[in-house]
Structure 1
């Protein structure tokens, strides 16, 4: 009689335990799920390849050539000789992107102050008189450039590059003037300079290209000092006409330029969206 009694007690205890476990599981099923683990705030670098640049330019124009078209009504008019453009300074800037450690691109705009130009022509080979054509020429260029950085040694990085774009040339304060060396060389009495004939201001935009070789030095904090030589082909230019229908035309415009400036490279970073949200919020 004792053994059956003990077996009954054990069975009763087991049944009670099972009912308690099932009731706990049911209660646990009614609880809300655990919140997700907090997101780690991992910085994501953006914009580290972008840079801004600002430059000062000293430009030495090459000698252009006379681009005046032959006049069938005046076939004896000789071309301009002794054409000169004064050296001038300028300034500019741009934005660029470092594609990889050795390749980068940028887009630049550069404005040069107005150069003084003059050239001469003479039907008598300067025996009885001559004509002077003079004025101002200002140049604005916009170029897209590609550079190859050739390695870095002690912070110095030599590079070469090429660019294409446009050159907008504005001729202003342009005039032509005859000077007689002998009396009545132009059909008027006396010698010396005659009244000038002024020509209207005029702008011409043409294709331009450039070749560059330079050296940059990393100062720190994203700044680099940049110095470069650039040869730039500027195309042609033309003045407006005067009261007699004449104009000044120049072609084969080009310049050797020395540029010095600063480049600032961005190195910003941002956090992923929602990375700063607190656990359980």
Structure 2
């Protein structure tokens, strides 16, 4: 019995020593967490955009010719507004777009140096241009740019009247011309996908003619315009 008691006391001492050692041991650290690399999603931008513009044109005419009037002509083409729209694509510093513009019928008056055979007509214009632009950097949301365009212009004359004589011919006459433009301006970020666009444009529309059925047909030479434009561009993402 004394032997059994001794074995029991020995076992209790071993257990107590183990418990004391466990109590003195530092706490176990949590298992290491292995972080997986995150997934990065690049923001997608298609580069395509739509635009709409309104402009004010300071019109100019190089001269005018009449079939049966030998006197030198002078003339005045009134200023007017233009309205346009289009769509394009932007890649880096470069942009390309196709635009169409319309300018309503506006009065043109012509008179001779002899103060006879004065005439007037109205000129309506349509233009379609392919344009290329170079953006020059962005500062504070402003992006200046330069560019140019090539295309075609349709010039339509109506209400052709001979003022000095009772001659009137209200038939329309239309003429297609090569057209070109030079431009410079800036855009400003209004919202993530919306930009204000303001620019100056030099526009060359070519010649306009009055109806062929009138004996004294007018040819209005080299119509050009200093145009000041403002509009919006919307980026399609």
TM beyond 0.5: yes
* 1:167 alignment counterpart: 153
* 1:48 alignment counterpart: 46
Task: Tell me if 1:261 matches 2:231.
Answer: yes
Query: What displacement does 1:79 show?
Result: 3.1
Tell me how far apart the structure 1 counterparts of residues 142 and 65 of structure 2 sit (CA, whole Å).
Answer: 43
Tell me how far apart the structure 2 counterparts of residues 206 and 176 of structure 1 sit (CA, whole Å).
Answer: 25
Query: What displacement does 1:47 show?
Result: 5.7
Task: Tell me if 1:209 matches 2:180.
Answer: yes
Alignment partner of 1:91 out of 66, 83, 90: 83
Tell me how far apart the structure 1 counterparts of residues 137 and 190 of structure 2 sit (CA, whole Å).
Answer: 16
* 2:28 alignment counterpart: none
Alignment partner of 2:217 out of 240, 247, 272: 247
Tell me how far apart the structure 2 counterparts of residues 67 and 59 of structure 1 sit (CA, whole Å).
Answer: 23
Query: What displacement does 1:199 show?
Result: 5.1
Query: What displacement does 1:196 show?
Result: 2.7
**Contact kept? 2:210, 2:219, Cα under 8 Å:** yes
Alignment partner of 1:109 out of 100, 105, 112: 100
Q: How many residues are treated as equivalent by the alignment? A: 199
Task: Tell me if 1:196 matches 2:194.
Answer: no
Task: Tell me if 1:223 matches 2:194.
Answer: yes
* 2:23 alignment counterpart: none
* 1:19 alignment counterpart: none
Tell me how far apart the structure 1 counterparts of residues 186 and 47 of structure 2 sit (CA, whole Å).
Answer: 19
Tell me how far apart the structure 2 counterparts of residues 42 and 54 of structure 1 sit (CA, whole Å).
Answer: 35
Query: What displacement does 1:43 show?
Result: 6.9
**Contact kept? 1:97, 1:106, Cα under 8 Å:** yes
Tell me how far apart the structure 2 counterparts of residues 45 and 115 of structure 1 sit (CA, whole Å).
Answer: 48
**Contact kept? 1:200, 1:240, Cα under 8 Å:** yes
Query: What displacement does 1:262 show?
Result: 0.2
Tell me how far apart the structure 2 counterparts of residues 241 and 57 of structure 1 sit (CA, whole Å).
Answer: 31
Alignment partner of 1:137 out of 123, 141, 149: 123
Query: What displacement does 1:216 show?
Result: 0.5
SS in 2 for 1:227: strand
Tell me how far apart the structure 1 counterparts of residues 212 and 152 of structure 2 sit (CA, whole Å).
Answer: 24
Query: What displacement does 1:98 show?
Result: 0.4
Pair 241,47 (structure 1): closer, same or farther in 2 beyond 3 Å = same
Tell me how far apart the structure 2 counterparts of residues 172 and 44 of structure 1 sit (CA, whole Å).
Answer: 56
Task: Tell me if 1:156 matches 2:142.
Answer: yes
* 2:27 alignment counterpart: none
SS in 2 for 1:200: coil
* TM-score, scaled relative to structure 1: 0.66
Task: Tell me if 1:59 matches 2:57.
Answer: yes
SS in 2 for 1:62: strand
* 1:191 alignment counterpart: none
Q: Which has the higher strand share?
A: 2
Q: How far does the alpha carbon of each residue in 1:139-192 deviate from its partner, in whole angstroms, 9 at most, with x for none?
A: 1100000000000000000000000000100000111132xxxxxxxxxxxxxx
* 2:15 alignment counterpart: none
